[in-house]
A = this chain, B = another copy of it.
């Protein structure tokens, strides 16, 4: 999946903040969204917005704030969504179908249709009436003795899971490390053993487990060609200097 395609998948996802009191949290949520490629912010009845505090905490994600849709009611904010998730950190009396963030992200990204993730008030979360508009409740696992997750942090975690999901779909590998060939490693071990004999660290009549231990250590490091050249350069310098 190209970067363009990732952005399209994520542009179908609305982050909906319901009756947020502190504008700083709106800005922090916008920043959290943008770091993870999300762009669609919906604010339901925010106490104060726009606001300088929001812009400061957005720290460069001003475009998300400028494009944010402000609505009077939640129904209006999610009218065109096919799938709606509510987030919750506390257990509810009536059990909604519950998902972990990872499963929510998988569902939202694979659907490829307009999807809303709802985040509630700082102190009270979402009401039961608001949860009735949701297909699922996403429960972010937290410390049972301190589940007070900041609302922008909750946005950050879900946004991170969504971005991961898109990246995994892309199957992009970040590894660039290319270990040296087995033949190069054999030549290196011969050079190492010879040098250890010359400096009298290794007694060839009583080798014990020394070379085996060194094999294990350097095999674990999986040196690449450049690193192996450096190590052999060091061995040659030792041989020349003695």
Write the residues of chain A forming the contact surface with B, with a CB cutoff of 8 angstroms: 3, 28, 31-32, 34-37, 59-61, 95, 97-98, 100, 139-144, 146-150, 152-153, 156-157, 160, 163-164, 167, 174-177, 196, 199-201, 210, 213-214, 216-218, 220-223, 226-227, 230-231, 233-234, 237-238, 241-242
Contacts and interface: CB of A to CB of B under 8 A. Distances in A.
Given A95-B176, A217-B223, 13 more contacts: A3-B144, A36-B143, A37-B143, A61-B146, A100-B174, A140-B160, A156-B156, A156-B157, A157-B157, A196-B234, A201-B237, A217-B227, A238-B238
Sorted nearest first, the 10 A-B pairs with minimum C-beta distance are A221-B221, A201-B237, A37-B143, A153-B156, A199-B241, A220-B221, A34-B146, A199-B237, A35-B149, A35-B142
Contact of A222 (B201, B218, B220): B220
Specify how many copies of this chain sit in the oligomer.
2
A160 to B, nearest CB: 5
Nearest to A28: B150
Contacts of A139: 174
A168 to B, nearest CB: 10
Nearest to A216: B227
A57 to B, nearest CB: 8
Contact of A143 (B35, B95, B150): B35
Given A3-B144, A100-B174, A174-B100, A153 B35 contact: yes
Contacts of A233: 201
